[in-house]
Amino acid sequence: FNNNQQDISLMSQAMGYALYNAAGSPAPRCGYARITVNGKNLGVYSHVESMRKPLLKRGFGDDRGTLYEGTVVDFFEGWDQAFEKKTGKDRLGREKINELIDVLEQNDLVDVEQAIGQLVDLDSFNTFWAVEGLIGFWDGYTANNNNFFVYFNPQTEKFHFLPWGLDCGFEKYSQLPGISRRAPLSVKTKGRVAYRLYQVESCRKRYEQTLRQILNMHWNEKEMIAETE
């Protein structure tokens, strides 16, 4: 349960996660619950599905992989132990985290997209990334190295990113200090994977194509507004 302390609308999580799932980026399901403790009404909370094997099975068709939680962490040298294992076997997943760190540490890669794509499912990542940009999620992986999970999927043998802590979505500007309001609103590139990909012209085009596809297929403002009524 989440008390929506950062979301006075009480709708960011339910609508945000629904958009991720509709776009094909696995995310928790979300509903609502009125919480009462010892007769005291605490109000309406978001009832967010836990990041456990049923979600992985539904989202990826296979729950045997390794799931890590990322909280204010990125793929930097020496940071591998900051990824907290939640499910699965740690040895292979941790090795793959370090392999991705090694790739991102290299500044002279001949083909950045190909190198990252050996370890990260790029179709999946671009969808995840585009939704974060579309809903203005300023406290997620690509904008703040925070509130995310990575799943090493045994079927693809690559990492897939999942969103978390989505109680500050649908905001135009970041609430973090030092973030310029002149920064582009449609793309977030603080996350190291996103940053390295966005330096490559073909990856920028791929990101734009993914963003426009989600806008055309899943961003229906009339339906979204109707959900708030």
- Confidence at residue 89, expressed as pLDDT on a 0 to 100 scale: 94
Tell me the per-residue pLDDT of 33-79, one tens digit each, with 9 for 90 and over: 999 999 999 988 999 999 999 999 999 999 999 999 999 999 999 99
Q: In 3D, which of 125, 133, 143, 123 has the Cα closest to residue 215?
A: 133
Query: What are the angstrom distances between the C-alpha of 143 and each of 73, 101, 127?
Result: 12, 18, 15
Mean pLDDT of 14-38: 96
Confidence of residue 229 (pLDDT cuts 50, 70, 90): confident
Tens of pLDDT, residues 79-115: 999 999 999 999 999 999 999 999 999 999 999 999 9
Residues 6+ apart with CB under 8 A from 132: 140, 141, 142, 143, 163, 188
Cα 157 from chain centre: 19
Whether pLDDT at 4 is above 90:
no
* pLDDT > 80? residue 130: yes
Indicate if the pLDDT at residue 147 is higher than 80. Answer: yes
| Per-residue exposure over 85-119, b if at least 16 CB sit within 10 Å of its own CB, e if not | ebbbeeeebbebbeebbebbeeeeeeebeebbbeb
**What does the mean pLDDT of the chain come to?**
95
Q: How confident is the model over 163-184, as pLDDT tens digits?
A: 999 999 998 888 888 777 888 8
- Say which residue, 190 or 183, is predicted with more confidence: 190
Provide DSSP, 34-48: EEEETTEEEEEEEEE
Residue type, 71: T
CA distance 215 to 211: 6
- Domain positions in the chain are 53-227
More confident residue, 177 or 210: 210
Phi and psi at residue 215, in whole multiples of 5°? -60, -45
- pLDDT given at position 228: 81
